[in-house]
Amino acid sequence: MANLTSLQTLDYIIVAVVAVLFLGIGFYFACLGGKQRTTREYFKGDGNMNVIPIVRLSYDFIIVYLISIMLYIFEVMSIMASFISSNAMLGIPAEVYYYGFNYFWITLGTFIGGPIAIYGFMPVFHKLAFTSIYEYVECRFNRTLRVSVGLMYIFSMIVHASFFIYAPALALSLMTGLTIWTSVLSTTIIGTIYTSIGGIKAVVWTDALQLIIFTGALLAPIINSGTSVGSFSYIFSKNMEGHRLANLSFDADPRVRFTFWGLIIYSIMNSLNLYGTNQTSIQRYLCCRNKITAQRTIWISLLGSFLITAVCCLIGLILYAMYWNCDPLASHQIQKHDQLFPLFVMQTMSSIPGMLGLFVAGVFCAALSSISSVLNSLTAVTLEDHVKPRWKSLSDEKATLLSKFTAVAYSILCLLVIAAIMNLGSIVQTVQYMIGGTMGASLGLFVLGFMNPWANAKGTFLGIVCGLAMGWWISFGNQIYRPPPNSLLPISTLNCSEILGDWRLRPNHNHTAFEFLLKIITDILEIYKISYVWIIPIACTVTVIIGSVGSLLIAKIDKGSVKNVDMKLLSPFVHSVMKKCFPNKHKELELKYKREISKELTNFQQSVKADEKLFECRDQV
């Protein structure tokens, strides 16, 4: 076997300093920086991230200006870090190694879906300033949908967070010798502590610092690859020989893992979901001073995400150039696809002092940035959608304290989910199969709410049920039957004997078991072989179509269930189209809404006066 060097004292010091730094930020905001006494500060950072730790320098205009720029950069970096996870850091290079560089084209749709989210979805949320985005669902439809979709979000985020925790555990267990569960517990404990006590301010600041460390951990192996692997011309030539740089297919077959149509449609919808209808994103938008700042922040975040995805794909090419003649998984050097990048770092950078520690810290940061954001968002949705409506007398101080305990409870629940996902497939694929149906149906709901003025609660609920059913049917069928990938590129063990000495090929099933497995595979429904990139688009499309048609039919059958739409709840795109194409209808809806608001305000004022008279009578008695 190849010699692997474990972490040295300097490496452990680097990891420990990073962990202590993040805990210190959490304790700062819990004990000194406002103390997170209100839910507004805990979830929104008071809507203004002008928090300057250590010292206040307001006497000098230039210094204040520079600090404001630094704070703005931190806000941008925080949003970027929220979507840059250990799943991407470890999973994308493995995807490129085994399935080719075509994964990179997933970035193209980002610059289509991103602007739609920036100018079509985000302004509505920023204007309404809801702590939970599912408050919008109740205003647009009804409370039943708000609770249902909120539960869907909680389920998907718990699964997502579990993978965020599990992914770095694979790397840490390989590089440090710790067991996977030791790595899982250490990551969870640190992320939970600074999130639960420090609130959104701690999350934003730690995210920004984590992005810096994460970027360093990604760039160091690329810079070092010139001496450890070869020149870029050598890397690209080896990948050409191994078909990793083949042309992107325009095949419409959804069973092909990466095609132009699948990648472009998936990336558009995934960007809409991440930047336009994601609780984590909306909380950060509300931390920005105004709508323009929030929009600029997303644009910079889109560019940063594009660059980091490109870097991860480049690392995948470097990995193939390194292991083209001795696949580490087939030769038992690793146990999981996603351990490929950590193995490469151990074999090529262990001679450089502190480099292994930097890489471990980078994986650690990628996980913590995602976990902290998810825990804070889960807590916000739980409090606003499920606790406050049932506990009317809950004070703001008690709500903030309850939020901190809720974050801890969710972290414990994630540990239970990890036990169930440990034996599933590669990270990138499995995450999409596990939560793609839920994310697609949820996106479909918001598309109906923002873009479809005639969508009503009953029709939308029908669409969500159908979208979920379709997405889960494909996803669970795939995870149960595990059809072999039809786009796996060839790997080689040609030179393993020279590299590793005594080794043996990873064993297959015995002949009888293999024949039985082959029989099962031939009987698998073709729908279970659909690529994971189609799960979100399928679930979203079914939700939107069924929801739109169902709303029209229900409106004709049950006219009493239809209510006038609040124009504030529709996308700016819809306002523009209605003003140009249906000006009379647009004016009619605005007038109806103003009348309803006036009527509700009058009723509210009357109820307030009635309550005041009642209290006066009680005082007299």
* Local structure of 95: helix, strand or coil: helix
* DSSP 8-state assignment for residue 351: T
Please report the pLDDT score of residue 147 as a whole number: 87
What angle do the packed helices 61-83 and 180-228 form, to 10 degrees?
110
Q: How many domains does one find in the chain?
A: 2
Cα(first)–Cα(last) distance of the chain, in Å?
90
Token pair, residue 601, equals 């305000």
Distance between CA 513 and CA 518 in Å, rounded?
9
Distances in Å between the alpha carbon of 302 and those of 76, 141, 291, 513? 10, 31, 17, 48
pLDDT at 63: 39
571 vs 206: CA distance, rounded Å:
33
Distance CA 211, CA 367 (A): 11
Q: Are residues 599 and 486 in the same domain?
A: no
Tell me if 2 is assigned to some domain.
Answer: no
Q: Which residues contact 495 (CB under 8 A, 6 or more apart)?
A: 325, 326
What pLDDT, on the 0 to 100 scale, is given for residue 482?
79
Q: Residue 501 domain-assigned?
A: no
Say how far apart CA 107 and CA 264 lie, in whole Å.
8
In sequence order, what DSSP letters do the residues of 227-255 get, joined into one string?
Answer: HHT--HHHHHHHHHHTTTTPPPB----TT
In a domain, 570, yes or no: no
Amino acid at 17: V
- Eight-class DSSP state of 483: P
Measured CA to CA in angstroms, residue 84 lies from 121, 410, 434 at distances of 22, 21, 19
DSSP for residue 174:
H
Claim to verify: residue 461 and residue 589 sit in the same structural domain? no
Predicted pLDDT of residue 403: 77
pLDDT digits (tens, 9 = 90+) for 141-180: 888 898 888 888 888 888 888 877 787 777 777 777 777 7
Please tell me whether residues 135 and 250 are part of one structural domain.
Answer: yes
Of 275, 332, 312, 340, the residue nearest 80 (C-alpha): 275
Name the one residue in this structure whose structure tokens are 């949705």. 381
Predicted pLDDT of residue 220:
85
Q: Under 8 Å CB-to-CB from 279, ≥6 apart: which residues?
A: 132, 133, 153, 157, 377, 380, 381
- pLDDT tens readout for residues 225-268: 877 888 889 999 999 999 999 888 898 889 888 899 999 999 99
**Same domain for 541 and 608?**
no
For the chain, the farthest-separated pair of C-alpha atoms sits apart, in whole angstroms, at 97
Give me the domain span that covers residue 115: 9-495+516-557
Strands (E), 399-525: none
The CB density around residue 60, as the number of other CB atoms within 10 Å, is: 10
Assess if residue 18 is contained within a domain: yes
CA 415 and chain centroid, separation: 18
In this structure, the answer to whether residues 15 and 119 fall within a common structural domain is: yes
State whether 553 and 588 are in the same domain: no
Residue 509 lies inside a defined structural domain of this protein: no
Q: How far is CA 61 from CA 53, 54, 56, 70, 592, in A?
A: 18, 18, 12, 14, 49
* Residue 445 and residue 359 share a domain: yes
> How far apart, in whole angstroms, are the C-alpha atoms of residue 433 and residue 455?
28
3-state class (DSSP) for residue 508 = coil
Q: Do residues 326 and 503 lie in contact, with contact meaning Cβ atoms separated by under 8 Å?
A: no
User: How far is Cα 461 from Cα 146, in angstroms, rounded to an integer?
Assistant: 10
Q: What is the DSSP string of 547-582?
A: HHHHHHHHHHH-GGG--PPPGGGS-HHHHHHHHHH-
Q: Are 375 and 192 in contact (CB under 8 A)?
A: yes
Residue 110 included in any domain: yes
- Residue 336 falls within a domain, yes or no? yes
Burial 225-245 (b: 16+ CB within 10 A, else e): beeebeeeeebeebbeebebb
At 481, which helix (H) or strand (E)? helix 457-481
- Any domain includes 504: no
Q: Are residues 290 and 351 in the same domain?
A: yes
Average pLDDT of adjacent 10-residue blocks, the chain of 621 residues: 63 82 69 53 48 36 42 52 66 90 89 89 82 84 87 84 78 74 80 64 64 79 84 91 89 88 92 84 71 78 83 92 87 81 85 83 75 76 78 74 82 84 72 86 93 90 94 87 79 74 52 46 77 93 95 83 75 85 74 61 53 47 45
Pair 529, 613 in one domain: no
**Tokens linked to 346:** 């151990």
- Residue 528 near residue 534, CB atoms below 8 Å: no
CATH number for the domain spanning 428: value is 1.20.1730.10
pLDDT of residue 67: 41
> What whole-number distance in Å separates Cα of residue 379 and Cα of residue 402?
9
Q: Are residues 181 and 292 in the same domain?
A: yes
The whole-number pLDDT of residue 264 equals: 92
Residue 59: per-residue pLDDT = 38
Looking at the structure, tell me whether residues 599 and 475 fall in a common domain.
no
606, 486: one domain: no
Q: Residue 470: what residue type? A: M
